[in-house]
Every structure is written in structure tokens, then in C-alpha cells.
Amino acid sequence: MTLLYPAFLWLLVPLAILWRYRPKRLDDTVHLLILALLILALARPVLESRPLKAEIQSRDIIVALDASYSMHATDIAPNRYRYAKETINQLLASNHTDNIMLIAFTTNPLLLSPPTTDHALVSVAMESLNVDDILTHGTSLKRLFEKIATLPIQEKTVLLMTDGGDKENLLALEDILRENDISLVILALGTTSGAAVAKKDGSLLKDSEGNLVISRINPQLETLARQTGGSYITTPSSPQEAASQLNDALETLTMERHAASKIQQQNIELYRIPILLAIILFGLLHTRAVKFLLPLALLWGNQANASIFDGYRLQQAYTHYQNGEYNASRQSLDTIETPSLQSQIVKANIYYKEEQYTKAAAIYRSIRTTSPKVKQLLYYHLGNCYAKTKAYEKAAKYYIKALQLGEDGDARYNLRLVALRKNEAANKLQSARPTSQGKSAAKTMTDEAEKKKESKEQQNTGGGGGGGGSKKSKKREKVTLLKPSQETTEKKQPPSSKVYDLINKGYVHEKAPW
């Protein structure tokens, strides 16, 4: 057995003092025992089980973070660099299954984290980088793209977070991107009016002639994105909104998902035992214990997150969701420190209700279970998502998979409906020859990637709102709450001096790169 939050045990110190000087009465003694049991429950005792290896479907994403001196400008609060770091943390939280690589760059690129689905490691690597130890202050997109071109990754999708820095040869950059099949999504960190850059001593940066240096967004970034078929995003009002727009841009790309393995640790929670004993003692001391049977049964059967605060926030999200207040529900979910299966399911339901079917389907695919019944629900709701986007062939496949796991009247009804819609679409195609539905669906997932995903898809669960592919379709909502897995945490380790040597190479030759 181990304790997830052992710091709570310090509360036993004042309790021990009270125990020593307590009145020798039964009720005082029992009250102190109850408090001790509640403190033990707060410490979260668990039994550690063996790590489980799960197969997931992931995308390869390269995040490039500009660490140059101009990123200290404050035209974006609190400054451009800290805004970018918070955006990356939001991205990591919303892309649980993606294989993410992190590169920091100035004049030279520096690999901070290799491709991994353990996003805690990516976050630790980013926080461990001390920008004060970086001596190169310029920005070289050419060297960054050349470095990315050499990476052993088949599909190179780059999320570039930068203010643009130095002016460069656009044609050379375009050639590198096209020759190496690099897809580019740019988050432009800066404004056209710009801002002064503060130095470590608090004074403002000036050039060699004593003029105040104003750092502005490089207009070449938008041209580069347009010429290479990429996406260009101006700085939104918050990192959360920036992460959401980056996810939307990723969904427009044809990115192949491939099978990957992820080790998950699932612990057996024991916090219910001390809480149960505390309730029994309280009930026996003050009233008939029968009055506590109902709350006791609810407590024992509750599969929500054991964290008290996260559980409260999750309950708030449920309440807002049931009242149709989807924005308020999503805000409650965003405050949860450790995303659980329950919170992910509610988030998928919200996306479905808001008609963001691609995002809903992505979340449903990322949740796992061994229950055939829950798998059947997953396939049903994935079929609904594809039916809503008029991808009728894919919707039919998922409805069939749902029916293979058991009889389902709604799935059978929707299967007949999408078959009818598919025939109608085929007839219109022959007469009017519009752009095919298949090409529209390919914006989010190629047929080849879908076949691979269906052949390798393992242990999924899900729940969400939805009916079939038309207004006549039946609508239902099924939400399954499962026990969340525990995520491992890593301690922050500062990079070695050799790491900084890589990014600081050639700094003596820089001449006021800002």
C-alpha cells in the first residue's frame, strides 16, 4: 500500500496533542478517531497494481517553441514566451494519445523531448529549460526546418510558436518545407504595433545607437503559411483559446494515426474504507446507523474521481451539462487538475451537443475499457458522429460493429437510415457530380488510416449525446462512468550544461539579432 498525498498526515500531529489531553469521555475519544480516519482518507491510500500496456491510436506532432530574446516582449500578457508555454500545457492536456515532440529554438534548435505519449515528461522538459542560460538571442527558422527534416518521423506536422524573429529567405524556407513534406501550423506570438523588450535588470533594450528596440510580429510568417498551404493563427485572448484553435487547425490536416503502446498504472483505491469506518462510528455514537445506510451505499458505489476537489468540479460540470449550459460545464472541466475518464466523457458529450462531431469522436476513441457493452456504446456513438458529418460509409461500419456485440434497436434503425442517405448521395453524385463526400471526410482522417485504426483499435469506452444522420434519427444519451487511471509524475531535472552548449553554439558571432 502507498499514499498518494502523504503530506496530509501532518494533520495527525495536532490531533495527537488533542488525544493526549482529551477528556476521558467516550464521545470525545470517538470524535478524535473519526478525525484520524478522515485524515487517512485524504492521504489517498491505494494498492498499486501491475502496469498495463494499452494500444492507442496516435498522431506525430512536433511543437517548436521560440526561446529567442524577443519572446520576452509584453505585448502579449504576461509575455510571449510564458503565453506560449501555457498554450503548450493546454495542448498536452487536450491531446492525451498523441505522440508529441518538443523543440526549443533560437539561432540553433534544441531537442527538449523526443516523441512520447507521456506528456508529463514533455511538460517537465519544457519547465526545466532556463532561458537565462541561453546566450543565442536570434531566431533561425531555416536551421529549425533543416533540423526537423532530418528527424526519423514519417509524417512531420509542426506547430510553430514564434514571433518570427529575423527576416529570412522565404523561397529557401518554402523549398525546405515542400521537399521534406513538412506541414506547418503557425501561432503568431506578437502584434503589429509591437512592444519594448525588458532586460534582466528591468531596463529596456536599446540598439547600438541608443534607440529603443521595438519587437513586432514578422509579417513573413503569414506569407510562409499561405505559400505552403499551412495555417496561420493570430494570438487569441487566452492560451486555452489558442490551444483550441491549434487543435482545430490540426483537424483540417490529413494526419495518419498509427498504433502505439502506452503503459498505464491503475491503482485500487482504499480511501472508502476509512470513510466507511468514520461514518459507522459517527452513526453509532449519535443516532441509529440505519439513517446512514443510503449515503454509505452511494459512497461505496461511487466511481468518481477520489480527489475531493476534482469530484466537486466534475459534479458542477454534470449539473451545468444537464441544464444545457455547455460553456459553463466546459469551464468546470477545465479547472480539473487531473483529467479523468468521467471528465473526458462529459467533454465529448459537450462537443457532440455543440455539433463539433470530429472533436467528440476523437475523445471517444481515446477512452478504453474491457467491457463489450461499453464498446458497443462507443461504436454506436462513433457511428452517430460520422453520420452527422455525412460520412455514411464509415457510420455504417461502426453501426455494424455495434450490432456485432449485441442487438441494439437504435443502431439497427440508424444503419438503415445511413444506407438510405448513402444511396441518395450516390444518385446526386451521378446527376450533379459535386465534390465527393469522401474528400470532405478525408480532411480529418484518410481512408487508409481509418482501416488501420479499425484493425488495431483496442479497449475503448464512451458515452455521448446523439442520434443518427438525420432529423428523423432516434436520439439518446448514454454516459458510462469508469474509474480513472492514475498518471505518474516526474520530478523536474534541469538540463545539463552540454544541452545549453548545443543551443548557444556560435553566439559570439551574433550582432544584435533583435
Lowest pLDDT segment from 98-112, 219-233, 358-372 = 358-372
My answer on whether 278 and 369 are in the same domain is no
Contacts of 478 by beta carbon, 8 Å cutoff, 6+ apart: 377, 380, 381, 463, 464
Q: What is the pLDDT of residues 441-491, one digit of tens each?
A: 333 344 444 444 444 444 443 334 443 343 333 345 443 333 333 333 344
What pLDDT sits at residue 496?
57
224 pLDDT tier (thresholds 50, 70, 90): very high
Nearest to 223 by CA among 263, 178, 174: 174
Lowest pLDDT segment from 93-107, 227-241, 360-374, 438-452 = 438-452
Nearest to 215 by CA among 68, 70, 65: 70
Within a domain: residue 483?
A: no
Within a domain: residue 6?
A: yes
102: domain CATH number? 3.40.50.410
What pLDDT sits at residue 346?
85
Question: Is the per-residue pLDDT at 376 higher than 70?
Answer: yes
Q: What is the spatial distance between Cα 310 and Cα 326, in angstroms, rounded to a whole number?
A: 18
65 pLDDT tier (thresholds 50, 70, 90): very high
What pLDDT sits at residue 93?
87
Q: What is the spatial distance between Cα 273 and Cα 41, in angstroms, rounded to a whole number?
A: 8
Q: Which residues of 119-135 are buried (b: 16+ CB within 10 A; e: fewer)?
A: bebbbbbbeebeeeebb
What pLDDT sits at residue 371?
73
290 pLDDT tier (thresholds 50, 70, 90): very low
My answer on whether 255 and 291 are in the same domain is no
My answer on whether 255 and 162 are in the same domain is yes
What pLDDT sits at residue 176?
94
Question: Is the per-residue pLDDT at 245 higher than 70?
Answer: yes
User: Which range marks the domain in which residue 505 is found?
Assistant: 54-261+489-509
Lowest pLDDT segment from 29-33, 264-268, 469-473, 479-483 = 479-483
Within a domain: residue 328?
A: no
Within a domain: residue 317?
A: no
My answer on whether 209 and 177 are in the same domain is yes
**Mean pLDDT across 364-378:** 77
Within a domain: residue 407?
A: yes
Strand segments (E) across 376-472: 464-466
What pLDDT sits at residue 437?
40
Contacts of 14 by beta carbon, 8 Å cutoff, 6+ apart: none
**Mean pLDDT across 166-189:** 91
Edge-to-edge strand order for the sheet containing 2-3?
2-3, 45-48, 267-269
Question: Is the per-residue pLDDT at 333 higher than 60?
Answer: yes
Q: What is the pLDDT of residues 313-323, one digit of tens each?
A: 788 888 888 88
Q: Which residues of 379-404 are buried (b: 16+ CB within 10 A; e: fewer)?
A: bbbbbbbbbbbbbbbbbbbbbebbbe
**Mean pLDDT across 428-433:** 59
What pLDDT sits at residue 54?
62
Grid cell listed for 374 = 461499453
**Mean pLDDT across 419-429:** 79
Lowest pLDDT segment from 31-45, 185-199, 291-305, 362-376 = 291-305
My answer on whether 403 and 283 are in the same domain is no
My answer on whether 395 and 497 are in the same domain is no
Q: Give the chain's domain count.
A: 3
What pLDDT sits at residue 174?
93
Question: Is the per-residue pLDDT at 263 higher than 80?
Answer: no
What pLDDT sits at residue 262?
61
My answer on whether 119 and 191 are in the same domain is yes
My answer on whether 34 and 125 are in the same domain is no
Question: What are the contacts of 207-213 at 24+ separation with CB within 8 A?
Answer: 207/512, 208/512, 213/514
Lookup result for grid cell 428523423: 472
My answer on whether 28 and 176 are in the same domain is no
Percent of the chain at pLDDT exceeding 90: 26
What pLDDT sits at residue 227?
92
Within a domain: residue 133?
A: yes
My answer on whether 130 and 104 are in the same domain is yes
Contacts of 333 by beta carbon, 8 Å cutoff, 6+ apart: 313, 314, 317, 339, 343, 346, 347, 350
75 pLDDT tier (thresholds 50, 70, 90): very high
149 pLDDT tier (thresholds 50, 70, 90): very high
Question: Is the per-residue pLDDT at 247 higher than 80?
Answer: yes
How high is the mean pLDDT of the chain? 78
Within a domain: residue 82?
A: yes
**Mean pLDDT across 376-383:** 83
My answer on whether 422 and 453 are in the same domain is yes
Please tell me the pTM assigned to this model: 0.51
**Mean pLDDT across 404-432:** 82
Question: Is the per-residue pLDDT at 385 higher than 70?
Answer: yes
CB atoms within 10 A of CB 235: 23
My answer on whether 229 and 289 are in the same domain is no
Question: Is the per-residue pLDDT at 132 higher than 60?
Answer: yes
Q: What is the pLDDT of residues 191-200, one digit of tens each?
A: 989 898 888 7
What pLDDT sits at residue 87?
96
**Mean pLDDT across 264-269:** 70
Within a domain: residue 484?
A: no
What pLDDT sits at residue 81?
93
444: domain CATH number? 1.25.40.10
